[in-house]
Chains A and B, each alone.
Chain A
């Protein structure tokens, strides 16, 4: 099972994120500290166990020493005092870099926690939103990125173990966390603070791009969204190309029409259409996302249909109702339309 699972892990979107495999300087400090604390824990446990053994089965002379006042002063007060103080000072020094001010020109992203997904907004130098996305964070390799963390409802926590420590997302307050990826790749993230029923199914993906790749990604997202017309528009590439994907919805249904008629636009925004809701994730580029349901499902037509048709069986308690009143044809039409929103 293990080798097969790693294959999935490599090909998938980085879940579960490995917690002791840093891919950047900020995560590296956290991992060094983690190992130091684990190591100290082992040493202290070993000393306590050894002392316990001596106290129970050791020779009388050792027992007497162990119970003496000197042993208490040294082993009970001086040693922990020195060791813990050293660890504390060293640990604070090591993690100070996580909250140090970063260069003014660093890229800034605002990530807002919702029950139970992440909104991602890329900011320009003036703090204006230039790209709006959800559940996916794209970064250039080798540069520190300031993540502004906010919450719309309850306390969540932002954690990409490969890239940094975790930091709470608190309503009415903005926390800042600096992250940096030194190798291109995908890094899984999770909500690390219990925030309600589907908390454990609140994930996201961080994608670190090489320079050229990054520029292309930004250019693609900043331009007007790729053709958002209906399914009869030619030349649109579907999200993941299945063997022989149907290009038109069954029965000539208009996915866009079904989407609007079903009221999806009340919660979801699709740029260039009348769908303008801000309650749920922005779907302008949903077709190019790696996952659905906030990092929990691969994004393909089948999972899209399943998610729209009965998201409650996949992520019980999430804020999107199951649209099981829609016919199979209508579900498929919406899925085909959405996968073209790239």
Chain B
């Protein structure tokens, strides 16, 4: 068993801070890796740890970019989105399971194309929508749709 495995099973380093966005990112870890294993060991005790693995692993590159775009523009400020640990806003509807049933926003056929158009400019895709247009490029919108569409509800 290597050192990293040991660290991951320590109760103090698993779970307690999963919701905290800083620990989900890896820049601190880059630093740790670059200065070698002994330092990694010391630094891990001081708070570095492997980012928690998401329960949802997007299967395509597009979906991975989509998840990054979701984090960058902050979709989760209003929506609970599977695979996004924080935030889980409640102003908009939860997106858990939305891809498995029903039309998008209650009115659009549930297709990736419609979803991409909707996440980029909701009021245009569905007049009267509460959701505002979001600062996403067309490519990013397609990536976001790929991520949301690829969710597999467990």
What residues of chain A have their CB less than 8 Å away from a CB belonging to chain B? 1-2, 4-9, 11-12, 15-16, 18-20, 38, 41-42, 45, 190, 200, 240-246, 250, 296-298, 300-303, 305-307, 309-310, 313-315, 324, 328-329, 331-332, 335
Contact = CB atoms under 8 A, between A and B. Distances in A.
A4 B68 contact: yes
Contact of B72 (A12, A16, A328): A12
A36 B62 CA distance: 43
Given A246-B123, A302-B134, A328-B130, 7 more contacts: A11-B72, A16-B22, A42-B39, A242-B132, A243-B133, A245-B132, A324-B91
B83 interface: no
A297 B135 contact: no
Given A6-B27, A324-B91, A335-B132, A302 B74 contact: yes
A77 B133 CA distance: 68
Does more than half of chain A's interface fall in helix, strand or loop, or is it mixed?
helix
Given A306-B89, A309-B91, A310-B91, A8 B71 contact: yes
A5 B27 CA distance: 8
Nearest to A297: B74
Given A242-B133, A243-B120, A300-B135, A18 B72 contact: no
Given A7-B68, A12-B72, A200-B22, A244 B132 contact: no
Given A1-B26, A6-B27, A305 B135 contact: no
B73 A314 contact: no
Contacts of A8: 25, 68, 71-72
B111 interface: no
Nearest to A21: B31
29 contacts: A1-B64, A2-B26, A7-B68, A9-B25, A9-B27, A16-B28, A38-B42, A42-B39, A42-B42, A240-B135, A242-B134, A243-B135, A244-B121, A245-B132, A297-B74, A300-B132, A302-B131, A302-B134, A303-B77, A303-B78, A305-B132, A306-B77, A306-B89, A309-B78, A309-B89, A310-B90, A314-B87, A329-B130, A332-B130
Contacts of A9: 25, 27
Interface in B50-67: 51, 64-65
Most chain B CB neighbours (cut-off 10 Å) among A298, A300, A302, A335 = A302
Most chain B CB neighbours (cut-off 10 Å) among A1, A12, A190 = A1
Contacts of B133: 242-246, 301
A301 B135 CA distance: 9
Given A4-B68, A242-B134, A297-B87, A18 B31 contact: yes
Interface of B: 20-22, 25-28, 30-31, 35, 38-39, 42, 51, 64-65, 68, 71-75, 77-78, 87-92, 120-121, 123-124, 128, 130-136
Contacts of B71: 8
Contacts of B134: 242, 300-302
B22 A2 contact: no
A60 B38 CA distance: 29
Nearest to A41: B42
A38 B39 contact: yes
Contact of B27 (A11, A18, A303): A18
Given A243-B120, A302-B73, A310 B89 contact: yes
Nearest to A18: B27
**Interchain residue pairs A-B with the least CB separation, the first 7:** A306-B77, A309-B91, A242-B133, A306-B78, A328-B130, A303-B74, A301-B132
Most chain A CB neighbours (cut-off 10 Å) among B20, B72, B87, B124 = B87
A200 B136 CA distance: 28
Contacts of B31: 18-20
Contacts of B72: 8, 11-12, 298
Nearest to B138: A243
Most chain A CB neighbours (cut-off 10 Å) among B22, B30, B31, B35 = B22
A296 B77 CA distance: 10
Contacts of B87: 297, 313-315
A242 B91 CA distance: 20
Nearest to B91: A309
A249 to B, nearest CB: 11
B68 A16 contact: no
Contacts of B64: 1, 4
Given A242-B135, A246-B133, A302-B77, A19 B28 contact: yes
A288 B39 CA distance: 41
Nearest to B67: A4
A253 to B, nearest CB: 13
